[in-house]
């Protein structure tokens, strides 16, 4: 997800409401301390992987009424004045944080329990690490960084070293989705 600062004047910061209005006009992006960073569609493979993650997480979480799984474009409002709204590729938020019957028209204002970011060809390993660290600093207890080119997934948790899983390994939901497991290979098929 390459950022393009279209707020070139540097004088007027945007709000989360501005970002929603821009989205209605077809502008896609994230807001970082009031500055818009436009994002581009990441392509078919990226979309397919995102759907696979959503299906695996949803098949586990939904029947157990554990929480909500959302995909890109839903946005998470992380800071105010100036506003920061980030857009994970996939996220799970527990029913304790957002009740299952909650209808949120704008951005969720709680940090997800699990954030999944899918690396695009233009994203660097450093960008991926920084992105995972950003989510951990905001309080996400579990972050998966999916690398389509190497068919691996980096798992980040607070206070532990990142682990890289390969296709022969299994993802684990840890305390976030206790009992969830999924072959890494299922994410890439």
User: Which residues form the domain of 99?
Assistant: 42-187
Determine, yes or no, domain membership for 33: no
pLDDT for 4 equals 37
Determine, yes or no, domain membership for 167: yes
**Most confident option among 12-21, 117-126, 145-154:** 145-154
pLDDT band at 9 (very low <50, low <70, confident <90, very high): very low
CATH code of residue 81 = 3.90.1570.10
CB 95 within 8 A of CB 79: no
Determine, yes or no, domain membership for 132: yes
Determine, yes or no, domain membership for 24: no
Counted domains in the chain: 1
pLDDT for 12 equals 84
Determine, yes or no, domain membership for 154: yes
- The pLDDT of residue 25 is above 70: yes
Residues above pLDDT 70, as percent of the chain: 94
Determine, yes or no, domain membership for 172: yes
pLDDT band at 2 (very low <50, low <70, confident <90, very high): very low
CB 50 within 8 A of CB 89: yes
First to last CA, the chain: 22
Compute the mean pLDDT over every residue in the chain, rounded to the nearest whole number: 91
Whole-angstrom distance, CA of residue 40 vs CA of residue 21: 17
Determine, yes or no, domain membership for 16: no
**Alpha-carbon radius of gyration of the chain:** 16
pLDDT for 73 equals 78
pLDDT for 10 equals 54
CB 20 within 8 A of CB 85: no
Determine, yes or no, domain membership for 36: no
């Amino acid at each position: 997800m390459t950022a393009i600062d279209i707020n070139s004047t540097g004088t007027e910061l945007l709000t989360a409401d501005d970002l929603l209005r821009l989205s209605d006009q077809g502008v896609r992006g994230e807001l970082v301390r009031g500055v818009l960073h436009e994002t581009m569609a990441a392509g078919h493979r990226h979309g397919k992987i995102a759907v696979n993650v959503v299906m695996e997480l949803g098949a586990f979480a939904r029947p157990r009424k554990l929480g909500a799984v959302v995909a890109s474009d839903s946005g998470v409002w992380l800071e105010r004045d100036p506003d920061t709204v980030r857009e994970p590729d996939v996220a799970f938020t527990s029913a304790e944080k957002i009740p299952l019957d909650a209808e949120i028209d704008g951005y969720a204002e709680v940090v997800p329990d699990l954030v999944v970011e899918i690396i695009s060809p233009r994203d660097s390993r450093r960008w991926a690490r920084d992105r995972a660290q950003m989510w951990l600093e905001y309080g996400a207890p579990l972050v998966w960084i999916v690398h389509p080119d190497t068919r691996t997934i980096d798992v980040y948790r607070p206070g532990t070293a990142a682990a890289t899983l390969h296709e022969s390994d299994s993802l684990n939901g840890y305390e976030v989705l206790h009992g969830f497991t999924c072959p890494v290979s299922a994410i890439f098929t």
